[in-house]
Structure formats: C-alpha cells, structure tokens
Amino acid sequence: MTHLKWFNPLVQRSVNRKAQFHNILKPPKPNQILKQYLEGNNPTKVLLHFRFLMRQRTTFNSIDSFAFLFALKACNMGHSSIHGKQLHALIIKFGYQDIVQLQTSLLKVYAEGGNLCSAHQVFDEIPTRNIICWTSLISAYVDNHKPNKALQMFRMMQMDNVEPDQVTVTVALSACADTGALELGDSIHSFIRRRKGGMKIDLRLNNALINMYAKCGDITTARRLFDRSKIKDVTSWTSMIVGHALHGQAHEALELFSEMKTGRDKSNRSSDSFNIVPNDVTFIGVLMACSHAGMVEKGKQYFTSMSEDYGIRPKEAHFGCMVDLLCRGGCLRDAYDIIMEMPMQPNAVIWRTLLGACSLHGELELAMEVRQKLLKLDPNYVGDSVALSNIYAEKGMWNNKMIARNQIKQSRAPGCSSIEVENGVDEHFIRRMKS
C-alpha cells in the first residue's frame, strides 16, 4: 500500500502530461480561429477561413450563429459590402434571420457600404428591436450624411417607447449639430440632466454637447460647457476653436489654440488636458479664424507650421481656407498660385472663391482665366457666368456683358432653407429669379 501511495502521484503526473499533449494536438474549434483572426485585426483571414469551413461538409453543422457574427464583423473591418450580401443570403439559408445580433451587424455592413435602403430594410425585418438596433440605424444615417433622417428615426424611437442611452444621445446630438437643430439638441441635453439616476456624461458625450451648441449658434453655452470640463481632449479644443471661428470670434479662437499648444488651460487649472497635439481639423478652425479676421501673414505662418511642426499634410479643406484668406486680403494672384500648387485637383468651390473675389475687386483678366477652369469642372453652373458678366458691367463693357448673359441657358438651381419645427428640421426650396 505504501508503495502504491508513493507511485500514485507519478502516475497522475504522467496522465496529466498525456492529457496536455492530447490538447496540444487537438485542433482548435472553428469559432476560436475566427475570433483569433478578428482580434488580430485580420478580416481577410476571417473571411477566407469562414469560406473554408463552408466548403467542408464535415464542418457544415459546426457553422453556428457566432461564426456568422465574426464574419460580419470582418466585413465591417474590411469594408466588404459584397461579402456582406453573400453572408445575408447564407444567414437566411441557415435560418438565423431572427437573431437580433446578426441583423444588427448586417445593418452596419450595409450602412458601411452606403446602402441605406438595404440597411433600413434589415431594420424593418427585426422582430424585436432594442436600443442597439435603433442606435445602429440612427448612426447609419448620420455617418452617411443624412442627419435629418437620423433625427426622424430618433423621434420614431421615442414614439416606440424605447428610451435612448448614452450612445444614442451622443449620435443624435451629432445629427443636431449637422442640421442646426438647436431646440432639439437642447431638449436632449435636458433629458440627460433629468433622467432618473442620471446619465453619465463622459468625454465623448460632453464633446458632442459642446459641438452641438457651437455649431447651432449658442456659442455661450458651448463655451460654458467647455470651461467646466475637467478633462479635455483634442476634440474638445477643436470643437470650441471651430465654434469661435464660425462665429467670427477670431481672437477667442486663436487664444484657445495658443492655450492648447502650451497646455495652459485658463478656464480650469485642475484640468487634465495638457500636451494636446492639434489635428488637421484644429488647423481648419485656426485658418478660418485668420480668414475672418483678415490676418493674412498669421494665416500663412499657421499653414506652414501645420506641416513643418506637426507633420500634418494639408488637405483640400486647408487649401480652401488659405484661398479664402488670401482672397479676403486682396491677394488674388497669391491665391491663384496656391491653387495651382495644390497636390490634388482643386474643386469648383475653390475656383469659385477666387472668381467671387475677382468680381469684388474688378480683376477681369484673372476672372476670365478662372472662368475657363470652371468651364471644365462645372460648365452648367449659372453663377459663374453671372459673376463674369458683373465684372464686364463694372468695366463698362456692355457688349461683353450681354454675350455672357446670353450664354446662360438655364435658371439657377433652387436654393434650400431649413427651419426647425416641432423637434424636426424641415427643408424648403426657394426658387431664385434669373438675375
């Protein structure tokens, strides 16, 4: 007996080693492999392995709903809407179409590909919609630049007695900022404050509130929220800088930018927002502020600093701000030169900014050159011919003015105005008379 007691631990160790060796040789489950590829940020391998599993008849029954969920997430990561459609058909074939998690992931796949019609159809087919489904649909419309539709869905969600959570109100506030729906945004803010138990206002939600108030015209409330924030990131600073710039408050915008760079937050000494590095959107706000204040040389310095000090490559929006800055300062030739030096193809809006400045300053020769550029980009835009004819009229060249006017074959496109009515934003088209 003593001998057996002495020998039992040795036997047990041998058994454990055999079990471990067996587990090493045992292949991992299919879902574990899919999950590992997904966590490794390799969506292509996820989809390839999923296809491999589908082709194996022995593993046909092992394709469960979790495998489809991993594959759909891979489609979102890899922006593969085509694979998403194929997975949609397979989900129906396998009978998984009533699983809410799969339907929500499908909705996101279609939204990522810009197919909002299919995304909304998937949403309509969900038997029991929860807050995640609603938030996904609202986010889909916001991400695809349809904020009015997003707010409509937000209102429908409330009518369906689904209470919004922290993520939902953050997305809805973004839609309010894009449409200028201040009243609705303010009501959402009130809902956050009076909700039972209170809704935690994290950094992202606080930034959404600051951005909404700044873009909707209530710069005072936006600044108050900003000053009270103990924690600020680059989005917080950028939203406030852009807000001041949009309201023509160039001094406040540039002062904030200086505070952000130096890490000296005058509004809150206990703030944790130090060593904030500006991003490309921050510089758009800075250049806008310089443009509205007529600070041409200051704007040039910031434009140079953006690439030299921060390694930010100027985008089309930055060049547009610089052209606007130079045009407002009367430096039309400099504006033309910077357009010609752009690393990307300048769009019609940038050329029209220069054409408008030519009309204001009576620069006929440059205006004619710019008009030729615009004829190649957008030949049917009526406003360009009108601007050129106005310069002819100012110069007393009435025959040229009539020729330019007679070249107009159609009236201007209808304008559009929006008005906030009963927690919604309605758009109305305004027909303009041919000027």
Average the pLDDT over 90-117 and give the result.
91
Output the six-digit token pair for 312: 């930010």
Q: Can you tell me the distance from the alpha carbon of 110 to that of 113, in angstroms, rounded to the nearest whole number?
A: 5
Q: Is position 285 within any domain? A: no
Q: Can you tell me the distance from the alpha carbon of 336 to that of 327, in angstroms, rounded to the nearest whole number?
A: 9
Note the pLDDT of residue 110: 93
How much of the chain is in helix, strand and coil states, percent to nearest 5?
Answer: 70, 5, 25
Q: Is position 272 within any domain? A: no
Q: Can you tell me the distance from the alpha carbon of 38 to that of 62, in angstroms, rounded to the nearest whole number?
A: 18
Boundary of a domain, candidates 85, 101, 128: 128
Note the pLDDT of residue 221: 97
Output the six-digit token pair for 302: 């910031």
What residue numbers bound the domain in which 367 lies?
Answer: 341-435
Q: Is position 37 within any domain? A: yes
Q: Is position 389 within any domain? A: yes
Q: Compare 320 and 375 and report the one with higher pLDDT.
A: 320
Output the six-digit token pair for 257: 């930018």
Q: Is position 69 within any domain? A: yes
Q: What is the DSSP letter of 230?
A: S
Instruction: Render pLDDT for 309-367 as a digit per residue (tens, 0 to 9).
Output: 999 999 999 999 999 999 999 999 999 999 999 999 999 999 999 999 998 888 889 98
Boundary of a domain, candidates 84, 107, 128: 128
Lowest mean pLDDT among 108-112, 286-290, 359-363, 423-427: 423-427
Q: Can you tell me the distance from the alpha carbon of 205 to that of 170, in angstroms, rounded to the nearest whole number?
A: 5
Q: How many domains does the chain have?
A: 2
Mean pLDDT of the chain: 84
State the number of CA atoms in the 13 A half-sphere of 297 facing the CB.
0
Q: Can you tell me the distance from the alpha carbon of 392 to that of 379, in angstroms, rounded to the nearest whole number?
A: 19
Q: Is the pLDDT of residue 94 over 80?
A: yes
Note the pLDDT of residue 421: 59
Boundary of a domain, candidates 128, 155, 188: 128
Average the pLDDT over 4-22 and give the result.
47
* Helix or strand run (H / E) with residue 2: helix 2-25
Predicted structure pTM score: 0.81
Comparing CA positions, the residue from 120, 122, 127, 129 lying closest to residue 152 is 120
Q: Is position 97 within any domain? A: yes
Note the pLDDT of residue 435: 35
Average the pLDDT over 272-284 and give the result.
83
| pLDDT band, very low/low/confident/very high, at 405 (cuts 50, 70, 90) | confident
Q: Cα dist. 321→326, 330, 349, 419 in Å?
A: 9, 14, 11, 28
Q: Is position 319 within any domain? A: no
| pLDDT band, very low/low/confident/very high, at 25 (cuts 50, 70, 90) | very low
Q: Is position 86 within any domain? A: yes
Q: Can you tell me the distance from the alpha carbon of 252 to that of 227, in angstroms, rounded to the nearest whole number?
A: 13
Q: What is the CATH number of the domain that holds 401?
A: 1.25.40
Output the six-digit token pair for 313: 């490559």
| pLDDT band, very low/low/confident/very high, at 416 (cuts 50, 70, 90) | low
Average the pLDDT over 412-434 and give the result.
53
